[in-house]
Chains A and B, each alone.
Chain A
């Protein structure tokens, strides 16, 4: 569906992502072959800590997005549905449950440990419990309470997460005879922080007009921050990316030649429909900000490594109070000079979609920024109506043209 035509405007550095992904998964299988435990993790799990324990993390969410983008997700979805998992459940979860039920002979090696922190959604808990029921693998479920106010990050809420990280360390030591190495954690924290710093700096350059990095790039370029935090490869990738974007910005070169509209995208991207981004771009609209891209970056403090990782687990993604999220939204509209918002009501991500109308009200109420809200699924292409969505995009861009 995406095709070469749909990929024509991506950065040179972004083009390396595909290879990086394959390498990352290949190394997971190598690690397993060498007797190193492989953990299946949800994406806002403290990867840095797993590195300090010498556990190799892979993210089934990432695997599912990749299956969707490459067009081979249906077999896995159908496998889980045959088992009885409802089509109304998260498509990432259905994909990985289908993969687990069908023998796990693909890129992602079978897990030795299942680790999740309930932070951005509660589905993680049920999904990981279900995986455990089918695979019988040891399971760790951590809780990162919803951050209601800034002080939560300094009181019993933070203590609670630190204690759970210590429980995870104990579990890994007891189950696999591993030894937690704080020096390794410090090293991973430093590298993770560096990658986040570089990514945030890159994202800032999207304030330039024309915008040098579009939605197609940001959707792919987050990958090293998802599972490769704490590695030198991730840092190198973001150094290269920043360099390229800086140069592009200094040349005054944008994603598209004639940038008419600067858009915010709220949601996870539709992995099977990257061509939609091109559809916007062909009409002069470029995505300059997504809360999703920003969510992966978190500055860490190597002098307090465990606490710093706990803060990251708590404050990532959708786990902060709605007022703080709306504040960030409104700030971005000013900072990035945004004139329209596209909100993706994602059938799979109920935690994101449920309060989306409240966010939309805030955007249109405060800044009179028009918004488009459309419904589909992030990974399951069966619920996607291309013609209908394009029709709505046309109408939305017409409104933007008039405002």
Chain B
């Protein structure tokens, strides 16, 4: 499998893509979290674009002890503001929630906060989230004159379902101990799905030759636990150190595409169900459910170790890392926590730790 050059380039330089949208008059809605349903944005004839931390330093508007990912994302929102017609933030963790406070005060563009219940189990949470999605639909109509009708939304759901299914198909090529696709390539496809027009992206994934592209046979198979990883050097570092990223539970990885929307009579309800009941991120849902998902991935993809990537000061993952360690210690699977503030500046230290971990497993 060879990743198309435009997708590789996109991962190197996101601004180029934003410029393209600007030049062609495409209205772009920036969002920050995989709990935001792209389907609603697409059906409002806007281009969804997930804003990352890439290319930004931490913002001077936040204290030094705030998650550096959230802070750099804030910096990008404000730095790249001209490319966006508006922003959608999701209440996932404390810093992302407070980003809304700051962005709202610092931009004149429309800003929406999607309130995602942390308790995903109580039946009332689903009703509430459905109402939140209806409020989001209203926001799109009021600010962009968008008419989200049933047909448009149904088409958008089909498009996003197709994208998720394609990503999952590629992902599953590595299941059961197979070494088919390098993780760097897989992650690029996910990132492109969040940045490119969906149709175009789907067409390119469909055109991929899904023959084996990895030459990593025998490398130590690992699972990556965390929140988001936009800096693919982190993945490359594992690959260069004798590791093979067999699976992950990242919002820029499997959590983005693992489940589809089951179309039903009420499409907003169907979306609410998919997004609330999706593979939980560390800030949401029952912890046990997350541990079970990681356990499933480790077994399905035959990982021999689990690396937790943690942005320094990221509360949800730092709490969870203790329980991930406990859960896998019982199964004799080694785990390691790697925390960082700016991976690009700390890559030497990170590499040393990863090498030692892989060596200890027996790579």
Contacts and interface: CB of A to CB of B under 8 A. Distances in A.
Contacts of B321: 84
B319 A130 contact: yes
B155 interface: no
Contacts of A387: none
Contacts of A345: 63
B323 interface: yes
Given A88-B312, A146-B91, A350-B94, A167 B283 contact: no
Interface string B46-73: 0000000000000001111111000000
A148 B113 contact: yes
Contact of A89 (B95, B105, B286, B319): B319
A354 B319 contact: no
B102 A122 contact: no
B322 A85 contact: yes
Interface string B87-128: 000011111011111101110000001010111001011011
A146 B63 contact: no
A77 to B, nearest CB: 15
Contacts of A322: 101, 104-105
Contact of A122 (B66, B104, B106, B315): B315
Contact of A164 (B66, B91, B124, B316): B124
A164 B319 CA distance: 25
Contacts of A163: 122, 124, 127
B313 A88 contact: yes
Interface in A92-126: 93, 118, 121-123, 125-126
Interface string B226-242: 00000000000000000
B141 interface: no
B118 A350 contact: no
Given A122-B118, A133-B287, A354-B101, A88 B94 contact: no
Contacts of A132: 287
Interface residues of B, number: 50
A127 interface: yes
A90 interface: yes
Contacts of B62: 354, 357
A167 B117 CA distance: 15
B131 interface: yes
A129 B61 contact: no
B131 A156 contact: yes
Contacts of A323: 104
A133 B287 CA distance: 9
B320 interface: yes
B115 A350 contact: no
Given A133-B287, A143-B117, A167-B122, A122 B97 contact: yes
A368 interface: no
A354 B66 contact: yes
B325 interface: yes
A127 B117 CA distance: 16
B118 A118 contact: yes
Nearest to A140: B119
Interface in A137-195: 141-143, 145-146, 148, 156-157, 160, 163-164, 167
Nearest to A355: B101
A84 B322 contact: yes
A88 B294 CA distance: 24
B115 A90 contact: no
Contacts of B322: 83-85, 130
Interface in A352-396: 353-358, 375
Nearest to B284: A125
B318 interface: yes
A160 B113 CA distance: 17
Nearest to B64: A375
Interface string B124-140: 11011001000000000
Interface string B317-332: 0111111011000000
B318 A88 contact: yes
B131 to A, nearest CB: 4
A287 B283 CA distance: 36
A132 to B, nearest CB: 8
Contacts of B286: 129
A86 interface: yes
A311 interface: no
A220 interface: no
Nearest to B318: A86
A146 B93 CA distance: 12
B117 A145 contact: yes
B299 to A, nearest CB: 21
Given A85-B322, A354-B63, A156 B97 contact: no
B113 A126 contact: no
A32 to B, nearest CB: 26
B63 to A, nearest CB: 5
B122 to A, nearest CB: 5
A308 interface: no
Contacts of B124: 160, 163-164, 167
Contacts of B323: 130, 133
A206 interface: no
Contacts of A29: none
Given A84-B322, A145-B128, A164 B65 contact: no
Contact of B61 (A126, A130, A156, A358): A358
Interface of B: 61-67, 91-95, 97-102, 104-106, 113, 115, 117-119, 122, 124-125, 127-128, 131, 282-283, 286-287, 312-313, 315-316, 318-323, 325-326, 337, 339
Given A84-B322, A146-B91, A163-B127, 13 more contacts: A88-B313, A89-B315, A93-B319, A122-B92, A123-B315, A125-B118, A130-B319, A145-B117, A146-B115, A160-B128, A350-B315, A354-B99, A355-B102
5 contacts: A121-B94, A126-B283, A127-B319, A350-B94, A351-B98
